[in-house]
């Protein structure tokens, strides 16, 4: 599993919306950098507290379950700006 894929899973489980993602990408550069930010930094960037907390302290069991799902044949993540 790549760092990028894991970061996308964290953002997906935090229910980050496209407009929020665009703002975060402008500020932090890429999804890996977003996923490494603290709760305070994410909130200061305009992300709601609940989503900031979900990124800063992801639900690891959910991320692991999603990673296992992705390991199955035919399962993929298509990220924002990714190729379909």
pLDDT value, residue 83: 46
pLDDT of residue 46: 96
Residue from 72, 54, 66, 48 nearest 11 by CA: 54
**Distance (Å, rounded) from C-alpha 46 to C-alpha 69?**
31
* Ranges of the chain with pLDDT below 50: 83-84
Provide the whole-model pTM: 0.84
Q: What is the pLDDT of residue 9?
A: 93
pLDDT at res. 82: 57
Boundaries of every domain in the chain: 3-70
Q: Name every residue whose Cβ is closer than 8 Å to that of residue 36 and which is 6 or more positions away in sequence.
A: none
Q: How far is residue 35's CA from residue 61's CA, in Å, rounded to a whole number?
A: 16
pLDDT at residue 30, as a whole number: 95
SS3 38: coil
């Amino acid at each position: 599993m790549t760092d990028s894929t894991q970061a996308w899973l964290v953002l997906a489980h935090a229910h980050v919306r496209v407009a929020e993602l665009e703002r975060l990408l402008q500020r932090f550069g890429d999804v890996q950098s977003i996923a490494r930010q603290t709760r305070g930094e994410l909130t200061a960037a305009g992300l709601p507290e609940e989503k900031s907390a979900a990124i800063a302290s992801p639900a690891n069991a959910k991320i692991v379950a999603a990673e296992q799902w992705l390991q199955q044949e035919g399962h993929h993540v298509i990220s924002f700006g990714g190729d379909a």
